[in-house]
Each structure stands twice: as structure tokens, then as C-alpha cells.
Amino acid sequence: MREQIREGWRFVARHPVIRPCVADATAVNFVCGGLMTLTPVFLVRTLDAPAAAVGALMATGGLGSLLGAAATPRLVKWAGGARALRWAAVVATAFALLLPLAGSGWATLVFALGNAGFSAGVVVSSIVTRTHRQTHTPPELLSRVMATVRFVSWGAIPVGALAAGAAAAAWGPRTALLLVAVVSAMGPAILLASPIRRMRDLD
């Protein structure tokens, strides 16, 4: 079992494309964990949104995810997988920065736009990277590689939730949301510092 775990780690750590993609996914999941913690608190306590509005605003993330998933095949075909990945990471960060700018009343639409755009960018990135991982990993290593990726990237979700909760307790939900949005810039920074920045496709 230990040797199988090591094989998965070695393949991920040495792969020039999968390694930065996993780092990007880890940063994104850290942010997602923070958003899961902060969103209901921010909407209820800071924006004083009614229950129905809170549900609708949180549902915009699902709408953005659906639109991102629908757009991914055409986007990859038109721009290439690596370009689509870079653009999606930048778009997700840009929309995440809208979240702490939301206000009460009609200004909650800023949150809806930011939530939908961030989710769309995350889904495009997820589809592109998972497709590459599953098609470029040797079949005998695929399960070990997937386990490694999930252990690392999904492990960031509770860490992000705890960090966001601590930040909200110290400085308030809006400031904490701003900090989480700023952290989301780590995703595109990781990709642009890797060989992916020069690629059109991930092959």
C-alpha cells in the first residue's frame, strides 16, 4: 500500500502539467471552503437578505456551474485546453473580487454575478484538468493518481473553511470575504508560473 501511494505521489509531483493543475485545484478548493463558510453569514448578517433571497443568491453558483459546463467543449475547441484553463482561472478570480462589493437591496445582484462567474470559471477549470488527467495518466496509475489529487486538493476545503471563519471572527464577514477573493488569485498565478503559460493545449 505504501509503495502504491508513493507511485501516485511521484507521478503527480513530476508531471509538468498535472502538478500545477493540482496546485491550482488546491488553491481553488481552499477558496471554495472559505466561500461555503462565509456566504450565508455575509448574506444574512451583513446584507440582511431575507431567507428566500439567500437561497436564490446561493443558487446562482449552480447556474454559473451549468453555464460553464455547457461552454467548456466549445471553448476548448476554439482556444485550446491550456488557454481555456488560464482564462477560466483569471475569470474566476475577477468575479470572486465582486463578492465583497455587494450591498443590500438591488446591490445583492453584484453578489449573484460574482458567484455565478466564479463558479463558471471553476467548473471550466475542473473539466479541462480532469479530462487531461484521465487521458494522460497510464491506466495502471490512474486510481493512485486520482487518490493523490483528491487527498491534496479536497483536503484544502476544510482548511479554507476554518481560515475564513477565523478571519470573519477577527475582522468581520466582508473583510474575510475580500481576503478569500484575493487568495483566489493564487490559482492563475500558479498556472502562469508553470509551463502551462506557454501552451495552447495541455497535450
The one-digit pLDDT tens for each residue of the chain (203 residues) are: 888 889 989 999 999 999 999 999 999 999 999 999 999 999 999 999 998 999 999 999 999 999 999 999 999 999 999 999 999 999 999 999 999 999 988 899 999 999 999 999 999 999 999 999 999 999 999 999 999 999 999 999 999 999 999 999 999 999 999 999 999 999 999 999 999 999 999 87
Distance CA 20, CA 109 (A): 33
Distance CA 108, CA 180 (A): 18
3-state secondary structure (DSSP) of residue 184: coil
Answer whether 119's CB lies under 8 Å from 65's CB: yes
Distance CA 82, CA 17 (A): 10
What is the grid cell recorded at 134? 484521465
Reported residue count of the chain is 203
Q: What single DSSP character describes residue 137? A: S
What's the confidence (pLDDT) of residue 202? 86
What's the confidence (pLDDT) of residue 99? 97
Distance CA 60, CA 34 (A): 17
Helices 51-79 and 108-136, axial angle in degrees (round to 10):
40
CA-nearest of 188, 143, 182, 172 to 42 is 172
Distance CA 32, CA 201 (A): 26
Residue 199: what residue type? M
Answer whether 161's CB lies under 8 Å from 176's CB: no
Answer whether 123's CB lies under 8 Å from 65's CB: yes
What's the confidence (pLDDT) of residue 119? 97
What's the confidence (pLDDT) of residue 5? 85
What's the confidence (pLDDT) of residue 53? 92
Rounded to two decimals, what is the model's pTM? 0.94
Distance CA 47, CA 102 (A): 8
